[in-house]
């Protein structure tokens, strides 16, 4: 490797791209457009800080006259099993005409366990593994698996979380509409099953939120008590 080739590979692309040396054209850079752009991969890509939801892809739209580029989300065209329309600037809107299908997550009057059983029947191969990973990911802070409780046989979320359907890409590359809970306060997890518990009292768990009031020079402690369902 010549000195020029080594310099091209190691230094030319600002450590954000891969240098390619050609004896006729010299050094050029191959950038990851999701992170960096520019001749030497030295300009932060608009996609790096642009949120695209529901398994959508961020692409760059060029404006030659303004010599500028902008981030644009390309939404999935559809999902498996359920006919959906995904739209919005960030692909945040999901619409479906199949309002009563048991395969639609978060339906009022239905529950996660029933949805899982119906969904599982239709899946085959490696995508079934993805579904099982969703189910097995539900583990509470004390190590209890959610499958051993009735919470998800009665509804969709723990601790007052709100269920939303979102599109996820499984291992096969196919996209599915699956449940995901929006949690309150300090709770976390796909099903809001992880309460930030610092102590137990029989059937009551307390999520403790520490709020530092730096301006007053003291720390306030707010206790948000939530009963296990």
148-163 tens-digit pLDDT: 788 999 999 998 999 9
Q: How far apart are CA 12 and CA 14, in angstroms?
A: 6
C-alpha dist (Å) from residue 166 to 55, 94, 136, 153: 9, 8, 18, 20
Q: By the 8 A CB rule, do 127 and 172 touch?
A: yes
Boundary of a domain, candidates 27, 49, 74: 74
The 10s digit of each residue's pLDDT in 98-140 is 777 889 999 989 999 999 999 999 998 889 999 999 999 998 8
* Residue 55 structural domain: 3-74
Verify that 41 and 130 share a domain, yes or no.
Answer: no
Q: By the 8 A CB rule, do 156 and 112 touch?
A: yes
Verify that 100 and 18 share a domain, yes or no.
Answer: no
The 10s digit of each residue's pLDDT in 57-86 is 999 999 988 888 999 999 999 899 999 999
Residues 6+ apart with CB under 8 A from 182: 161, 162, 163, 164, 192
Verify that 66 and 82 share a domain, yes or no.
Answer: no
Verify that 141 and 56 share a domain, yes or no.
Answer: no
pTM of the model: 0.74
């Amino acid at each position: 490797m010549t000195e020029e080739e080594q310099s091209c590979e190691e230094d030319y692309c600002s450590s954000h791209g891969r240098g390619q040396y050609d004896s006729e054209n010299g050094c050029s850079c191959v950038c990851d457009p999701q992170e960096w752009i520019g001749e030497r991969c030295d300009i932060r890509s608009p996609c790096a800080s642009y949120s695209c939801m529901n398994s959508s892809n961020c692409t760059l739209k060029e404006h030659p006259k303004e010599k500028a580029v902008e981030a644009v989300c390309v939404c999935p065209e559809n999902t498996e099993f359920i006919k959906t329309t995904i739209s919005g600037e960030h692909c945040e809107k999901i619409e479906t005409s199949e309002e009563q299908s048991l395969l639609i997550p978060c339906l009022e009057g239905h529950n996660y366990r029933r949805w899982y059983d119906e969904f599982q029947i239709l899946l085959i191969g490696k995508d079934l593994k993805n579904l099982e990973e969703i189910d097995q990911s539900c583990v509470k802070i004390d190590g209890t698996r959610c499958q051993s409780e009735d919470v998800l046989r009665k509804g969709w979320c723990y601790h007052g979380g709100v269920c939303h359907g979102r599109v996820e890409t499984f291992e096969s590359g196919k996209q599915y509409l699956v449940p995901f809970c929006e949690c309150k306060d300090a709770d976390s997890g796909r099903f809001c099953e992880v309460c930030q518990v610092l102590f137990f009292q029989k059937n009551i768990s307390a999520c403790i939120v520490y709020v530092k009031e730096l301006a007053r020079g003291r720390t306030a402690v707010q206790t948000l008590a939530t009963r296990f369902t």
